[in-house]
């Protein structure tokens, strides 16, 4: 299942491109597409989880590559996008089904703030922070 578009969602060119990149991120996580994740993440990316755990670009990609977390479902909804210069602030909700390497399954239901930056490579994820709803 892909992005759910909210009524009245922003429609500028950059906002559309950022939302396309959010969808590319979602698909890359689901498909364990390491090359795409590497291209989508800024080198200095910081990735905050709702439990307080922090990942870097390297540690998040390693978690996906080594199947420590396998996303079986990853749905995003209720987007709010704000472009400020070369930065995009994207707020949304996330519901997922994730198999973890200890054999258990978690079902996060989160609010998320993603910060994307416009670089020579296009829009890249610079920061992400989740919170429990």
With a CB cutoff of 8 Å and minimum separation 6, the contacts of 86 are 117, 118
The reply to whether CATH 3.10.450.50 applies to domain 13-132 is: yes
Residue 45 to residue 127: CA distance in whole angstroms: 5
> Taking the domains of the chain in order of start, what are their residue ranges?
13-132
The pLDDT confidence band at residue 1, using thresholds 50, 70 and 90, is very low
Residue 78: beta bridge partners? none
Tens-digit pLDDT profile for residues 25-79: 999 999 999 999 999 999 999 999 999 999 999 999 999 999 999 999 999 999 9
pLDDT mean over 110-120: 97
pLDDT at residue 130 greater than cutoff 70: yes
How many Å apart are CA 51 and CA 99, to the nearest integer? 16
Instruction: Report the pLDDT value the prediction gives residue 8, as an integer from 0 to 100.
Output: 46
What pairs with residue 96 in β-bridges?
74
**pLDDT by residue (tens digit) across 72-105?**
999 999 999 999 999 999 999 999 999 999 999 9
The bridge status of strand 105-106 relative to strand 109-119 is unpaired
Say what the pLDDT of residue 11 is. 72
pLDDT at 45: 98
What gap in Å lies between CA 78 and CA 91, rounded to an integer? Answer: 8
For 79, other C-beta atoms within 10 Å of its C-beta total 20
């Amino acid at each position: 299942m892909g992005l759910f578009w909210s009524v009245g969602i922003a429609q500028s060119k950059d906002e559309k491109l950022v939302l396309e990149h959010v969808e590319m991120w979602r698909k890359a996580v689901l498909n364990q597409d390491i090359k795409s994740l590497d291209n989508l993440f800024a080198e200095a990316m910081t990735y905050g989880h709702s439990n307080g755990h922090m990942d870097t670009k390297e540690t998040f990609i390693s978690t996906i590559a080594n199947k420590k977390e396998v996303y079986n479902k990853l749905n995003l909804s209720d987007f709010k996008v704000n472009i400020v210069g070369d930065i995009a602030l994207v707020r949304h909700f996330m519901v997922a089904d994730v198999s973890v390497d200890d054999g258990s399954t978690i079902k996060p239901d989160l609010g998320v703030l993603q910060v994307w930056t416009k670089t020579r490579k296009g829009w890249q994820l610079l920061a992400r922070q989740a919170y429990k709803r």
